[in-house]
Amino acid sequence: MVGPTNFKNKTSELKIVHRLALVFSLVCIFGCSPVMVRPSPEGRPDLQGIPASDLIAALRVSQADLRSLDALGKISVSTPENRLRASQVVLVQAPDAFRIEVLAPFGISYVVAADGESLATLSTQDNVLYRGRPDQQTIAEVIGIALAPRDMTSLLLGRPPVKADELASLWTSNPPANDTPAKTGAPAVFLHAGDGEDASVVIGFTKLQADRHEQIIPVSFQRIARNGQKLLQARFEDFLLVEEVLVPRRIRLQTLSTDAVVEYRELTPNKLMPPSMFQIATPPGTREIQLLPTTP
């Protein structure tokens, strides 16, 4: 086994890690009966003056509705150093477990798995397995985007990465009257809230309909630093109703250094998955390297 590797002294073995990027997924699997979703024709009037407590309740419902996901999709990722598009399999289990498999023409080329306690990354091409703690820095190293495990899981599920019960100083606003959220699915109302001492969040909601199903659902998210800098932005688009759960087929993500768009083809929501799904055993003949986060 190879000794610990500090990211301040990256070896050439880690270059493949830096070239790989994140996936966000959702869509419908064989046997599902997905229903196309449209914005409510009365989404704007119904959400005018809605109290913040109702939006918090809608956020809780949306997060409780979708607790896990088994999905196939494609991701386009752009960073200052790289651009890539790849097919990936994504498995997600709230609150903080995920597995991402990058597909190659002849199998799986790269796997990232986290179970809340550990992070493992397998490069099948190089026969190297990296292990470490799942935190914002190590996830940035192996996936290409700096997100905490819970944030990663929430975004992969197509939900805002916040805890509804921990939001404070709530107030609401509406977009300008000349916007047309009923036609575009853009936010019809915004919830503004404090999220800890150093940041605030803005969550956009609209009302969506599918057959007789109607629900207020979050469709955008921003995390903003105290100096006004937008640390994280996400858009959840093109929803389907699958097994009575609203899931977005497209997720747009922007951080300070990364832009990503994920488009989903197949999904199974709320699938039961064993804990072992979010762990990686060391294959025979594979070298193991420990990941250490960069110290300030």
User: What are the boundaries of each domain within the chain?
Assistant: 5-292
Q: At what angle do helices 149-156 and 136-143 cross, to 10 degrees?
A: 50
Q: 38-71 as b/e, with b when 16 or more CB fall inside 10 Å?
A: ebbeebbebbeebebeebbebbeebbebbbbbbb
- pTM of the predicted structure, to 2 decimals: 0.82
Tell me if the domain spanning 5-292 has CATH number 2.50.20.10.
yes
Tokens of 53: 């407590």
At a CB cut-off of 8 Å and minimum separation 6, what does 264 contact?
25, 26, 27, 71, 72, 73, 249, 250
Q: 83-95 as b/e, with b when 16 or more CB fall inside 10 Å?
A: eeebebbbbbbbe
CA distance 177 to 109: 49
Question: Given this model, what pLDDT does residue 12 score?
Answer: 39
> What does residue 106 show for φ and ψ, rounded to 5 degrees?
-120, 30
Question: What is each CA distance from 257 to 170, 222, 246, in whole angstroms?
Answer: 29, 15, 29
Question: Given this model, what pLDDT does residue 45 score?
Answer: 43
C-beta neighbour count of 228 within 10 angstroms: 7
Question: Given this model, what pLDDT does residue 181 score?
Answer: 47
Cβ atoms of 222 and 201 within 8 Å: the answer is yes
Question: Which residues, given as ranges, of the chain have pLDDT below 50?
Answer: 1-33, 43, 45, 181-182, 296
Question: Given this model, what pLDDT does residue 177 score?
Answer: 63
